């Protein structure tokens, strides 16, 4: 079964880019731009393996959304995407990790792999999106 990831962030470009990136390497990916849409997606889906949860989502408090995720499934992993140097970095003990924005794609992919396993297909290096050393630095 293919692992599924839900991306919730108010930044539409980030959601689109992450969803495409994750699909390219074999994950199922969905995204939402606000908490209301996120809650709808959570209720409609069978179950997500991972939720990437951006802070300051419109139309919902993140802590309420985190509670809804945990109520739906204790198996779902949650990683909070937080602005670097944010004062809101504390208080997320019920999550499975924090990643700072701007995101470092290799670090994000490593966290995804650590939490839910390898995607079904490889393809980033072939598509020229990540250099062979996997660091994003040449």
Range of the domain at 112: 4-116
Angle 5-30-93 from CA coordinates, rounded to 5°: 45
Q: What is the pLDDT of residues 84-121, one digit of tens each?
A: 766 566 666 668 988 989 999 999 999 999 999 988 75
Q: What is the pLDDT of residues 31-87, one digit of tens each?
A: 999 999 998 998 888 789 999 999 888 988 777 888 888 888 889 999 999 887 665
Per-residue pLDDT, averaged over 8-19, amounts to: 96
**102 against 125, higher pLDDT:** 102
Domain membership flag for residue 44: yes
Total number of domains constituting the chain? 1
Domain membership flag for residue 40: yes
């Amino acid at each position: 079964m293919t692992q599924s990831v839900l991306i919730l962030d108010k930044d539409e470009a980030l959601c689109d880019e992450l969803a495409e990136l994750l699909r390219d390497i074999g994950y199922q990916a969905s995204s939402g731009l606000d908490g209301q849409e996120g809650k709808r997606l959570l209720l409609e889906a069978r179950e997500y393996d991972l939720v990437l949860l951006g802070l300051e989502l419109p139309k919902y408090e993140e802590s309420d959304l985190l509670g809804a995720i945990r109520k739906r499934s204790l198996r779902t992993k949650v990683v909070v995407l937080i602005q670097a140097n944010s004062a809101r970095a504390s208080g997320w003990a019920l999550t499975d990790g924090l990643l700072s924005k701007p995101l470092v794609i290799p670090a994000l992919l490593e966290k995804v792999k650590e939490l839910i396993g390898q995607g079904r297909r490889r393809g980033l290096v072939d598509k020229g999106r990540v250099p062979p050393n996997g660091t994003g630095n040449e």
